[in-house]
Amino acid sequence: MLDLDELPDIVYAPLGTRGMQPLNLKECPRCGNNDIGKLQLLSKEKGLRENTERGLDSWDTSTDEYEIKCSNCGYNFRIKCQNVFGSAGGKERVVTFVHILTEDGQNDGWLGNF
């Protein structure tokens, strides 16, 4: 059984100079339904961790994709999480960039609309 619990509830989207805006990830971008009983995780794909080298720097990235169906309005959407693993002072840090995609993989621009 696939479970939405793996996704963070809230992500923070940068808002230019106005700081960060908390966004509910478990919400249908079309109808605003945020009842997780009506959001179904259809599939998830865990990306492989890949190493990128540029000059003397190198870092790892991976991309996870979740496909979610809203049973309230029938809309399918994808959440794509791009993880960038870096190290700072010997400790690993992960920065995750979240994109909301429409069902055909187009970027909905949803996170950029604020």
- To Zn ion, the closest distance from the beta carbon of 88 in angstroms equals 39
- To Zn ion, the closest distance from the beta carbon of 104 in angstroms equals 17
Given the complex with Zn ion, which of 15 and 31 has the nearer CB atom?
31
- To Zn ion, the closest distance from the beta carbon of 3 in angstroms equals 19
Residue 21 CA: distances (Å) to CA of 15, 37, 63, 105, 108: 6, 25, 23, 24, 18
SS3 label, residue 104: coil
Across 1-114, the runs of DSSP E, i.e. the strands, are 10-14, 20-24, 39-46, 50-54, 57-70, 76-88, 91-102
The answer to whether 9 and 26 have CB atoms below 8 angstroms apart is: yes
Given the complex with Zn ion, which of 26 and 80 has the nearer CB atom?
26
Given the complex with Zn ion, which of 28 and 41 has the nearer CB atom?
28
- To Zn ion, the closest distance from the beta carbon of 12 in angstroms equals 23
Given the complex with Zn ion, which of 25 and 84 has the nearer CB atom?
25
**Given the rule CB under 5 A, which residues bind Zn ion?**
28, 30-31, 33, 70, 72-73, 75
